Structure 1
Amino acid sequence: MFSENTMNFYYFMMNKQLIYSFRKYLMLLVCICTTLIVQAQTESEVAYREELKAVEAKLREGRFQEGLQLLDDITAKYPEVADIYYAKSLILGQRGNYDEAVQNAALAYDKSKHMFYANHLLELYKSKKDLAKGIELLQDLKVKYPEHEGLNRELLILYAENKQLDQAQKLYGKLTSANPSDTLHLVMSEVYINSKDFTSAKKILTKLDGKTMIPDVYGYLGYIHANENKPKEALAVIERGIKRTNDKSLYLDLADTYKNMGKTEPMYTALKIAFDASEVVFWDKYKFIMGLMNEEQILSDDKMQLLANSLVARHPDILEGQILKGELLWKGGNAAEARSVFLNVVSSNPRYINAWRLVINTDLGLGQADEAIKHGLEGLKYNPNNPQLLYFTSLGFAGKQDYESSKGMLETALNYSENENNYLRSLIYGSLGDLYHELKMENMSDAAYDEAIALDSLNVSALNNYAYYLAVRKKDLEKAADFSKRSIEIEPNSATYMDTYAWVLFQQGEYQEALKWIEEAVKLNKTSAVLLEHYGDILSKLNREKDALVQWQKALDIEIKSESKGSFAKIQQKIKEKKYVE
């Protein structure tokens, strides 16, 4: 089955395939160039500020390749300016071109020998898992900054990640013999923990227990005890740390221990203390609550909402907290309130792509296609030609059955999606397949679906819809059966996908097998006129005319109640003739 009408399908697809993780490099790149321009305005000798503004303009328009070309031109004029190489590196890195990003970052560092650029280069090495280069860079920096303790800590960790534990131990021994510190001991214990050498880590940490004011010592010890299946010892050391340091972040460790023990109420109590404390780092709280959201329900929706509300109250300027609050409101059925939260986010930062997406989705969830279009177009004013916003805005036009406008949006999204991930490109192609079908452009529809599935073999909507349309057209039925079976394997409890498979089998003349699948589908959804009509059709082919009439009548009753009457006349005719009409 495709859907009872096109609008319902788009709402269904929107709810089933929310994209929670899009790259937001446009906002970042604009900020990068804006920062460089500000620096140029404060340094009169730098003559490239106007040219950087031109780069910013290209990025705002989504013309990243042209922006990079402008940076190349600027580099040719000012080959010794580290900032330009840094900007190019950031853009290339955000677009996933790590090799060229590293080359430009290395040039920025080589031109300046500044720690700022070294940090960026180091992060790229770590992203590429080129730990040997990272170690080499840190060793070079240590020569220039011999008293920089942070370099030693980072070097210890990289040695361990690069499976050079012996080198880490030698460095640790050398450093502790010269100038031991609780921080250095903590870092080495972390190295041991990451290497799963809990005994060595515990040995270091136990010496600090009750003496140090560093809260992580108690958190790490708690983690080790929990790993040893000693929850009481874990609780005791964390509580000892809280008493010793009065650091509220340890309540997150306490909550984690209670969670592993299956003690929900004390876990929530500990979380409340941590979330109500402004001094506890936002991202530590955020990571914890996101972990809870990704697991089976541990806390009630109301308690999760209270934690999110506290997160926003204590950290009002961090927009990710507001997004989280809105998502929980939406999950709890408060779509209008969730939309208000998301709108507040985009008013604070109109280049926050994910927030615009959520605004549009809540509009569609509320059945307000006009609002979805309005908000989509507003988002595109601030983020021109952004393929994500073009895609979601197209759903608003499709919801109004304005297929030509929706198609135009999707085709534009495709044109600007070259550097997007395959998941989004597959969604765009899949939606184009749907629209081309509605517009009777069957060859283009088939080609779009093929491309969608080639890009993402798990695009369940494309698999199902393509299979259904092939079945309706009685074309490539073996291919349709294959795609339909794959959609059921991905989502085995979908009545829609079972119905599609039943209809493919029906077109293949496999009526008894089709009956099995349509009956399974109807068990899951007894209120779909399409399913019940198909049920009657299959029964009729099996010469069970009375049973077929019962199912057709049920479908007709649903059509009348829903006032959609999309198949009213067709079902009425079947009942009248008491047989399936080809």
Structure 2
Amino acid sequence: MKRSVLRIVCCMSLFLLITLKVNAQEKVEKDSVLLETLVGNEDRKYSYYFLEGMVQKNKGNLDDAYALFTHCIEIDPAKAEAYYQIGALNMNMNQLPDALTSFQKAVQLDSLNYWYNESFFFALYNSPENEEEAIKQLELMTHRFPDKSALQFQLLDLYAQSQDYDKIIAGLNQLERKLGKSEQISMQKFKVYLLKNEEKKAFSEMGDLVSTYPNDLKYQVILADLYLNNGKKKQALTLLNKVLEQDPDFPMAIYALANYYNETDQKEKYISELEKILYNPKAEMDLKLNLMRQYIFKAQEDTVQIMGLFEKAIELNPADDQIPMLYTQYLMSQKKEKETKPVLEHILKLDPTNTPSRLMLLGMAIREDDYKKVIEICEGGILSSPGTIEFYFYLAIAYNQAEDYEKLLSTVSQALAVVDESTPKELISDFYALRGDGYHSLSQYDKLYEAYDKALEYNPTNSGVLNNYAYYLSIQRKDLSKAEAMSKKTVEAEPKNPTFLDTYAWILFELKRYTEAKVYIDAALENGGNESGVVIEHAGDIYFKLGEKEKALEYWIQAEELGAGSMITSKIKKKKYIAE
């Protein structure tokens, strides 16, 4: 079956080639100048068909391109570029064996062309059965193109995959001769020697690095670390002490010595080295943070000592905000919110634009229901981070609590000027809801309903708006059908919300649908409404209209105790419903 298919493909290719030849010949016959140029000149004829093949390839006519490149090989089989193009087309058609053959031929004809070599290598690399051949090809490439160091690193990766450690060492030595002694190469050789169980050579390699750069104490510390990590603690301590004799403030050596004391369970000395780094002006902040994280992990249960170390670190680095940030994370993980607050305030003094810290502080103020603190935090937040929409939202709520409605409305206007297409529509809806609440408090009902309408444009299911909108309409005894429809949506959405149930019951009451109103006011009472004087007063009003006057009186008395409407005393005294 495969042979039949191949025969058909060959026949089709032959037909296509004949067609292309005929078409080309017809074109030539029409152009006498081109005819004179091509006839008897194989090089020009080759160039013509090759360029035409590239044109067809760029147009996406791959079959035509394939036939033209094949014809180029017939004209001159000693030129490499046509083989390369056919190889690329075969790769594109997932015909890997044919691609390999073509790329190999291109390399044989022009072994110093980098792209031919690279394509041949990748074709071999993509064939698992040709892994050894791929390595050989890459080895040849490192000799053919010695200036391309990346090839050597790529070859080392292949050696590593096949665990050919001797060749890895040889390759690293070759790189070292070319690039010079370096930490990266020496570390790689160190690791390979350890894998080969040649420990002596491993440490000798790092010793050579130290000898090459005797004035760079960093390499001595690296060697000490390697000693420590490989159980050679005595050698590590000796070398670190030698380094610190030369430079007692060398942060890297102090850090390594701290690790030594940590590994050998010498807690007091470990803490002492930690403090040295915290005091050390030469030590980078990342180093200090790493040590703090390490200590937190080691002394998980010793919260007092960890906190003491953090306090000292903050005292010693008063202008830094990274240590306090890490400290807040630790305190929050320990559920020490009270202790976290002053640290966050310290961070904001250092950097008022530190939004994560400000938001954490804001969360605490909200949980404490401290609207004055919320106002302070959010006002500062808007000044330092005017694009953070949360500050406007909670500031508007806090102004509402403070009964400063003009500032509430001003804050909402500021927020709506900041929002963009990335702002959630639900949040924009809530801002308009807050605007409506502000207008309600100022008894500006036309603006109130306008704001609520806008809120519902952005979020038609905003239950808080639907409920308040409906309730305010019912209080004004206007558009009760509209109010009933809106309130019904909230009850359907949250059938156990006592506020929504009370609103719906009251609207039904205003519509004189008292029996239905009783069903919903009873549900409100059963779901927590019995703690609200307003809800209980409504229950009394509804029961009165249903003729249950004694029950109504009981509810009114309860409502008065909890705090209810202005007419509650008169209702109790006269034992009848009085409209407000």
Q: TM-score, normalised by structure 1?
A: 0.42
- Structure ID, larger Rg: 2
TM (normalized to structure 2)? Answer: 0.42
